[in-house]
Structure 1
Amino acid sequence: MRSSTWSGRRLFLSWLSAAVADGLRDPHAMIAQVPVLALGPGTGLLARAAGAAVGSRPDPAAVRPPVELTRAAGSDPLFAGATPPSAGLPPARDPLELPAGAVVLASCDGYPEQAFRLGASAWGVRFLPQELPPDPWAEQLLGRFATLVAARAEHTATRAFFTRRADAWEERFAHQAPAYEAAVARLRLAPGGRAVDLGCGTGRAMPALRAQVGPDGHVLGVDLTPAMLTAAARHGRTRHGYLVAADCTRLPLPRASVDGIFSAGLLDHLPDPSAALREWAAGRTARHGRSLDTDDLLAEGNLRRALETAGWHLAEYEDAAGHFLARAVPRS
């Protein structure tokens, strides 16, 4: 049974090598934090994609010191909790200069870069070539990577979708600025207040939020996609508040720490809107003329029930020809 399992793993490794080669030709892949695991010779491709210099002459020395995990591996999303590598796994002996910011996760005497992480989601393991006999540690690593990919699948899909569109997002939706300003006005924030723009994209609501809370207030723009936040900074949104990369359903904020939360085009794209509503209420704009049906989360009755269940009261609901807006307040 184990031999059959390893055959499947080896087929997966062959496919993975080709997938890494194709995926890294797309400059958006690493920016979007698509999980990548490169093994053996594939690690050179990964390092080159990140701007590293890769040598081509292996050290002919016969001595093969054991590979050991570094201290950084203990807090790595993929390596944390992993057992020590099998003693028989041979270290890579060709030169490799990692780019700045790389985290070394496995090392050995004389050959320090045996495994590494680039950014938040790309790993290279140099001492696992594609052609291996069955090895428990290698199987463990592949299983852990498969689990990580599954756990991040939804975030990966979101980032991949929006990363490609981030550069043109501001210009494409510039016409919505008046609607955003009108929706923010409905929040009725007081000077000195604390406001959050969830799913902020390029931060188009942040200027209006800043205008409401004034110079003594606080504005936070939260988005899951780093490329969107980069575009927001490029458009000067850091003049109006802070930008944070985070999941809007798991906000890095203490309870009752903000006075108003704005979101546009976000709630009906979340996998668990009720979980989100337990943390925040929404002021929304621009349904783009899309009609509502009885199953639509944003139909008045459905939205009201979802908000009430999550501890909110639907104070305003407008589905006009030119805009859609819902304003919720905490239920007393």
Structure 2
Amino acid sequence: MSDDRTHVQEFFTARAADWDSKFPDDGPAYAAAAAALGLREGGRVLDAGCGTGRALTPLRAAVGASGLVLGADLTPAMLAAAVRAGRHRDGRLLLTDVSALPLRTESLDAVFAAGLIAHLPNPADNLRELHRVVRPGGRLALFHPIGRAALAARQGRRITPDDLRAEPNLRPLLAASGWRMTSYVDEDAQFLVLAQRDG
């Protein structure tokens, strides 16, 4: 495992047990972001970097019983927390790295990714891997339940111009990875970027 992946795994392992209790009011924001993907009954969706699986329930609601919901995460402790919370009933959990997904090319309708972009060791390559598993015309949602400014304030830091999530940085990164940004929202109550897979 690379140093970057080890660091991410250690970071989230230390926080897995009380992750949900630290952010108890995020449910409606996750539901709204999942709905923004425009999934249909029977759809196939991946929650990339699913953590404790907070998006799995609204994603299941969107695709119904006939749909496929997958949750992929690198950290066993986060997946264990998802199981303890009962969210494994809403989606199949995969212990895997989003840089090499064990999924067929063009097998999904959409990817949901909450808080993932900041933890990707090779964002362009990792976004290309998400592109690989989504069908042409499929969608990507990059989400965080609070916006960049609110998150920076919570963490006691300032937003810098090189912030990967800033629209002038993220739009070309997505384009270089095969995604066309269709919507960019960065407000105190939500960060949500929607993109479509071209070709």
Which band: TM-score by shorter chain?
0.7 to 0.9
Deviation sequence 1:140-160 (CA, Å, 0-9, x none): xxxxxxxxxxx5332222222
Match of 2:175 in 1: 308
Q: TM-score, normalised by structure 1?
A: 0.53
Secondary structure of 1:174's partner? coil
Residue 330 of structure 1: aligned partner: 197
Give the secondary-structure state (helix, strand or coil) at the position aligned to 2:112: strand
Give the 5 Å matches for 1:235-274. 235-274=85-124
Q: Distance in 1 between matches of 2:74 and 2:48?
A: 9
Q: Could you tell me how far apart the structure 2 residues matched to 1:184 and 1:316 are?
A: 14
Which residue number corresponds to residue 35 of structure 2?
185
Deviation for aligned residue 1:292 = 4.3
* Deviations 1:76-125, CA, capped at 9 Å, x for gaps: xxxxxxxxxxxxxxxxxxxxxxxxxxxxxxxxxxxxxxxxxxxxxxxxxx
Tell whether 2:23 aligns with 1:163. Answer: no
CA–CA distance in structure 1, aligned partners of residues 181 and 38 of structure 2: 15
Matches of 1:282 and 1:297, distance apart in 2: 15
Give 3-state SS (helix, strand or coil) of 2:54's partner: coil
Contact persistence 1:292–1:299 (CA under 8 A): no
Give the aligned partner of residue 27 of structure 1: none
Q: Is 1:212 the counterpart of 2:49 in the alignment?
A: no
Cα separation, 1, equivalents of 2:168 and 2:123:
15
Larger C-alpha radius of gyration, 1 or 2? 1
Structure 1: give runs of 5+ residues left out of the alignment. Answer: 1-150
In the alignment, which of 249, 254, 275 is matched to residue 125 of structure 2?
275
Letter paired with 1:200: C
In the TM superposition, residue 175 of structure 1 has moved relative to its aligned partner by 1.3
Q: Which amino acid aligns with 1:315?
A: T
Q: How large is the Cα RMSD of the aligned pairs?
A: 1.4
Which residue is equivalent to 2:47? 197
Which sits farther off after the overlay, 162-171 or 275-284? 275-284
Distance (Å, rounded) in 2 between the aligned partners of 1:261 and 1:252: 14
Identity %: 47
| CA displacement at 1:205 relative to structure 2 | 0.3
Question: Which structure is richer in relative contact order (CA contacts within 8 A, separation 6 or more)?
Answer: 2
Matched residue SS, 2:108: coil
Structure 1 partner of 2:187: 320
- Preserved contact between residue 187 and residue 283 of structure 1 (Cα < 8 Å): no
- Residue type of the partner of 2:8? T
- Cα displacement string for residues 295-317 of structure 1 (whole angstroms, at most 9, x for unaligned residues): 11111111110111111100110
What is the deviation of 1:287?
A: 2.9
Partner residue in 2 for 1:228: 78
Alignment length, in residue pairs? 182
Is the contact made by 1:198 and 1:263 (CA closer than 8 Å) also made in structure 2?
yes
Task: Note the alpha carbon deviations across 1:171-216, whole angstroms, 9 max, x for none.
Answer: 1122111111111111000100001111111000000000000000
